[in-house]
Structure 1
Amino acid sequence: MLPMSPAVGSAILSGQVSVADGLDAPASAALYLTARPNVGDDVPRAVLSGTRGKPPPIAAVRLAPPLEFPLTFELNSANLTPEGAAEPARWWAQRQLVLSARLDADGQAATRDSSDLVGRALCAPLPPEQGELAGMESRARCNVQLVGRGFGGKLLTKNFAMTTRN
């Protein structure tokens, strides 16, 4: 028997996003959260499809400024992507999820900036009986700390920005 489709608003993933000590969150920044299964894609198919080996996100949300950190979040069924809502319902429910967070300095998802802050966390499913006792999606809270993009990320962003201006 297939699991029932999630009720609108039912929790998929919840947790907290914080900013590392010594870093500031720009007032105009928007926070992008995406959750995807922690599984590698079929490499030959990934090369052809352009996914770079990452499965598509099952849920995504943009949180608009002003934001206050630490920020408590909840991804729910309203945040499901078409892939996350695909049948069979909740095909990803007992898989480990990767939660990616990006605090985009200018608030535009299409741009990358060296001042963007990023973070990732692995979010493991709970055993079914623990999820039922918690009264929510069978997944532990997932906490992400935002950090700078690092030298490599900043260098790539700078080079990309230079090549797109020429």
Structure 2
Amino acid sequence: MSDAELQLWIENVSLEFFGIPFRHKAFFNTRLRTTGGRYALRTHHIEINPHQLEAHGREEVEGIIKHELCHYHLHIAGGGYKHRDGDFKRLLARVGGSRYCQALPDKNRRVLPFKYKLTCAACGMEYKRKRRIDASRYRCGRCAGKLRLEELAAGNGD
């Protein structure tokens, strides 16, 4: 979806649910990470996180648009536009906007597999590690036996 299509979508939602036209700019902001959208007080522009559209679809983003339009229309009209204000809460409930957006999947977080295994020579207790350590410097936590270091095969030990 392009910024022009988003602009048209927000204008239509504003007229349909609020009965007031949206007269400022709306666009996608790929730098947003922890929020679904943002209303700028000085410029009155609305920014939407495009990752929400990819992850959760149009219905979720429409709830975010309604949320940001509540800020917009209340701020323009001089009402209580902040999250804690009663005016904001009532208008948000009336139009069916979302109070919070859904969390995005964390793409940057990788789960590394275990590469090493320490095995106690006395009791057989196993300790899995991602980093190599000097086994001669440590003892088993269960029985104080000597530890042997094994390197696990690639893709093994999760």
Which protein is richer in strand relative to its size?
A: 1
Q: Higher Cα Rg: structure 1 or 2?
A: 2
Assess same fold via TM > 0.5. no
TM-score, normalisation: structure 1? 0.24
Which protein is richer in helix relative to its size?
A: 2
TM-score, normalisation: structure 2? 0.25
